[in-house]
Amino acid sequence: MGFVSTILGLCGFGVGISTGITLGYYFFIYFQSSDVKDPAVRPLVEQENESLQRLLHEIPFWIKNPDFDRIDWLNKFLQLMWPYLDKAICKTAKNIVTPIIAEHSPKYKIESVQFEVLTLGSLPPTFQG
């Protein structure tokens, strides 16, 4: 008897869900609320600066201000090449600065100045404009 009631319960559940989905579909499609108003639509040219900034706060800087050029390609290139550029720039700086420091250190009675670690950081510079 338990098996038959389980089968009938599942069938009833299936019929109930099917009926509910069908009725819900017709209510949402065919019955619209009467208090809905169309929003006031104005061209972007007629908007004030404050409202545009509020609406478009995540637009890139080069779109907001057309005086700036788009140089995302350079930023992406620097991001990819930064570990190699960091090593090369630091090595060049070390090679240039070491003789200058060695030349001027006897004047101030300093025995030696050496670089333990020289790095420009893990984040590349970014360019805007």
| Separation of alpha carbons 27 and 29, rounded Å | 6
Give the least confident one: 8-17, 19-28, 74-83, 88-97: 8-17
Q: What is the pTM of this model?
A: 0.46
Q: Which position has the token pair 């990819």? A: 80
- Quote the CA–CA distance of 28 and 60 in Å, as a whole number: 39
Domain extent listing, the chain:
1-33, 62-129
Task: From residue 10, give the alpha-carbon distance in Å to each of 3, 16, 23, 70, 84.
Answer: 11, 10, 20, 61, 65
Confidence band of 86 (pLDDT split at 50, 70, 90): very high
What is the C-alpha end-to-end distance of the chain, expressed in Å?
79
